[in-house]
Structure 1
């Protein structure tokens, strides 16, 4: 198994891409550390993984809060003695608004949730990885950061583009310590949040979006998780600063 004896932290693990990634890593031998804000959903994911694989460590809380981040680093170290993999999946975005209607409060909230919080996570875990001389960081960006968002606004696109730039810079900074930093950029994926937004669109609007996707469908969380797992594995030990686009062909770099 690719992740036998590996300790993997996954943020935003209560549903969608985070849940699919945590389940895949656990299936392949990892002990997973699950974080999210929604306690009931998070506990349900943990119970499902425990039934089928190894019992996970659950650390509920908002990753934008310093106390949550401190616990998310310290508790795995106390219990397992190390962290090997860190998946920055938590984030969010609001439905697109006209440019002139986006307030600075909304702008700052999206940038904090999708970019600043990821920076703080990387900064914190990099200290651990440097001591170990080993670590894998995988950031979850978006098609919105490569091209434009199909369902969210300019604030979301800016935050996800910033995440790609930060990934490349961190990859260069941390490479000498045997730490890789990479990004997966999913297209529109039927997570719980996107499914709710999708249901509000007319059939015509839905078809217009589908027509922009060469493979002719929205993604599923299970389409994205294998790319994240690959970058977190030792199979990708010579890859850093990369972006893997998993978007049905919407963006071809």
Structure 2
């Protein structure tokens, strides 16, 4: 599959799944805008990987919870790299697993502001650019928590369920403009964010969770990136409004 001649914008591209997506997009022929909230050094490492593949890269700093910053980020990308047709959102935050009765309202608001409202900002401001480019495709990285509803993760499950619904509605609204949108719902994945998420678990919990994954291992960022890039490509041109679980069977494993 080739994506040659396209420009992709990857939110959350400084590391983890976002970095893997940016690298694979470049390998498949796309120029990439790497968007990060604060870690410009790591974002530049991603950009260097894109350039090493012979593609153009541009780093943008943006807090997706801030509506104005997202709008400004798109303007900067358009000026630096030209029209873009591919959007990936892998941006997110981590909050320790906490029961509802102990989760503070401030923690709830901070999580939802990035994961759910931030996704709204990305779609809201990105849609006109995709339409102007003649159509395009969006993939948002979500979580199987939206359907598994694990205890002590109400903030994650609720926000990701909202993300899944938001993207599906967006897909229905924008299809007539040549814009597709899908979700990749991931399970436990080998990323820094994933490691922070399990720090609050009981020592035996990680072993139990991995044992319950039918394919017997935790996902790598590259596992996720391959599915994201597939959904962005022409081979998936008749797929929109879907939630693809990339979890090694973790959801069905219980």
Residues in 1 aligned to 2:102 and 2:198: alpha-carbon distance in whole angstroms:
22
Paired position in structure 2 for 1:187: 187
Paired position in structure 2 for 1:12: 12
Are the counterparts in 2 of residues 143 and 188 from structure 1 also a CA contact under 8 Å?
no
Residues in 2 aligned to 1:58 and 1:25: alpha-carbon distance in whole angstroms:
15
Q: How much has 1:201 moved relative to structure 2?
A: 5.1
Paired position in structure 1 for 2:73: 72
Q: Is residue 132 of structure 1 aligned with residue 133 of structure 2?
A: yes
Are the counterparts in 1 of residues 31 and 50 from structure 2 also a CA contact under 8 Å?
no
SS in 2 for 1:240: coil
Q: Deviations over 1:116-168 (max 9, x none)?
A: 11111101111122233311011111011121348x61111100011111111
Paired position in structure 2 for 1:224: 224
Paired position in structure 2 for 1:103: 104
- How many residues align? The count is 252
Q: How much has 1:196 moved relative to structure 2?
A: 4.0
Q: How much has 1:79 moved relative to structure 2?
A: 3.0
Are the counterparts in 1 of residues 7 and 82 from structure 2 also a CA contact under 8 Å?
no
SS in 2 for 1:13: coil
Q: How much has 1:199 moved relative to structure 2?
A: 5.9
Ranges in structure 2 where 5+ consecutive residues have no aligned partner: none
Paired position in structure 2 for 1:238: 238
SS in 2 for 1:24: helix
Q: How much has 1:221 moved relative to structure 2?
A: 0.4
- Within a 5 Å distance, the mapping from 1:45-194 to structure 2 comes to 45-149=46-150, 153-194=153-194
Q: Which moved more, 1:23-32 or 1:228-237?
A: 228-237
Ranges in structure 1 where 5+ consecutive residues have no aligned partner: none
Aligned CA distance change for structure 1 residues 86 and 149 (closer, same or farther; 3 Å): farther
SS in 2 for 1:57: strand
Aligned CA distance change for structure 1 residues 84 and 156 (closer, same or farther; 3 Å): same
Are the counterparts in 1 of residues 10 and 87 from structure 2 also a CA contact under 8 Å?
yes
